[in-house]
């Protein structure tokens, strides 16, 4: 597949992922301002549904990474060269931020924002390791045994991980950076971003090592 087409798929897919995350968070907070649980449920379902669609349509083009941690794992696995991995990441981060800004425009909010939502502490850092480990393991296990089910596996996993992790499962460095640019339901204050990303990379690497052993061909 030509690199330009792959980058276009990663750009549009990542932007729409953030539109789904932030847009559904804004809508949920507006409709259920007094019920955080309902708002989180709506946010999780919308994100999981969007992931299913985006991975289904863009997976055959670029692999539908939309996530630098996933791209790094595919590079470590030998599936893509370093140049392509760097190109993917260079597209994923700015288009994730663009997706946040587009969500702001849709809901007639100030485009430029900085989050004030504090997300830090050892519990949430561990949650990001667990969330990213599970996501990468789901992808690599799916590739090994059920490639056709990967859109459903990822969509369902993220929907569930919103609820069983204390961090609400960011599991994605590009998403984490972008969510620092929204002071809405889905935001993360800038001082928590670096720790989240470090834990996400660690979780992805642990899942890579684990999967090389458990999902190895006989």
- Domain map of the chain by residue range? 3-214
Looking at residue 1, its pLDDT comes to: 83
CATH of 3-214, one of 3.30.70.360, 1.10.3080.10, 1.20.1080.10, 3.40.50.300: 1.20.1080.10
Looking at residue 29, its pLDDT comes to: 96
Q: How far apart are CA 208 and CA 59, in angstroms?
A: 20
Q: Coil, helix or strand for 173? A: helix
- Mean pLDDT throughout 175-195? 98
Question: DSSP assignment, residue 167?
Answer: T
- Mean pLDDT throughout 205-218? 93
- Mean pLDDT throughout 152-178? 98
Beta carbons of 144 and 44 less than 8 angstroms apart:
no
Predicted confidence (pLDDT) at residue 218 exceeds the cutoff of 80: no
- DSSP per residue, 28-75: HHHH-TT-HHHHHHHHHHHHHHHHHHHHHHHHHHH----SHHHHHHHH
């Amino acid at each position: 597949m030509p690199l330009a087409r792959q980058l276009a798929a990663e750009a549009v897919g990542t932007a729409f992922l953030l539109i789904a995350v932030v847009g559904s968070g804004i809508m949920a907070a507006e409709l259920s301002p007094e019920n955080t649980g309902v708002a989180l449920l709506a946010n999780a379902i919308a994100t999981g549904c969007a992931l299913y669609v985006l991975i289904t349509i863009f997976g055959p083009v670029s692999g539908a990474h939309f996530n630098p941690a996933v791209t790094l794992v595919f590079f470590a696995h030998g599936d893509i060269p370093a140049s392509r991995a760097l190109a993917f990441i260079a597209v994923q981060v700015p288009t994730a931020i663009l997706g946040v800004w587009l969500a702001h425009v849709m809901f007639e909010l100030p485009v430029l924002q900085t989050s004030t939502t504090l997300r830090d502490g050892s519990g949430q850092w561990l949650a990001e390791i667990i969330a990213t480990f599970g996501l990468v393991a789901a992808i690599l296990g799916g590739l090994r045994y059920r490639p056709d089910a990967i859109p459903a596996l990822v969509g369902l996993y993220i929907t569930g991980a919103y609820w069983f992790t204390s961090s609400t499962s960011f599991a994605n460095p590009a998403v984490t950076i972008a969510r620092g640019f929204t002071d809405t339901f889905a935001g993360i204050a800038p001082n928590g971003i670096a720790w989240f990303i470090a834990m996400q990379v660690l979780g992805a690497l642990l899942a890579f090592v684990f999967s090389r052993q458990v999902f190895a061909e006989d």
